[in-house]
Amino acid sequence: MSRSGALKRLFPLVVIVGLVVAFFAFGLNRYLTLQALHDNDDALRAFVTRHPLLSPATYVAAYALVVALSVPGGAVMTVTGGWLFGLWIGAALALVGATLGATILFLIARFMVGDALRARAGPFLNRMADGFERNAFAYLLFLRLVPAFPFWAVNLVPALVGMRLRSFAAATVIGIIPGTLAYASVGDGFGLYFEAGSGTPLSAVFSPEMITIRVGLAILALLPIAVRWARKRWNP
Q: Look up the pTM and report it.
A: 0.77
Q: Tell me: the pLDDT tens digits for 56-86?
A: 999 999 999 999 998 888 889 998 999 999 9
Q: What angle do CA 141, 127, 154 make, to 5 degrees?
A: 40
CA distance 133 to 19: 32
- Residue 139 has a pLDDT of 83
Q: What is the dihedral of CA 113, 118, 121, 124, to 10 degrees?
A: 100
Categorise residue 72: left if φ over 0, alpha if ψ from -120 to 50, beta otherwise: beta
Average pLDDT over every residue of 202-220: 54
CA distance 207 to 117: 51
Please choose, from the candidates 234, 64, 224, the residue with its C-alpha nearest in 3D space to the C-alpha of residue 143.
224
CA distance 211 to 66: 31
Q: Give the three-class secondary structure for 70.
A: coil
* 136: pLDDT strictly greater than 80: yes
CA distance 160 to 152: 13
Please choose, from the candidates 125, 51, 135, the residue with its C-alpha nearest in 3D space to the C-alpha of residue 85.
51
- Residue 114 has a pLDDT of 54
* 220: pLDDT strictly greater than 50: yes
Q: Tell me: the pLDDT tens digits for 81-129?
A: 999 999 899 999 999 999 999 999 898 888 766 555 555 555 656 666 6
CA atoms within 13 A on the CB side of 35: 2
Domain positions in the chain are: 3-234
CA distance 116 to 113: 5
CA distance 203 to 192: 10
- Residue 77 has a pLDDT of 94
Q: Tell me: the pLDDT tens digits for 171-207?
A: 999 888 888 888 888 888 776 655 555 444 444 444 5
- Residue 47 has a pLDDT of 96
- Residue 206 has a pLDDT of 47
* 26: pLDDT strictly greater than 70: yes
Number of H helices, E strands in the chain: 13, 0
Whether residue 85 contacts residue 59, with contact meaning beta carbons closer than 8 Å, is answered with yes
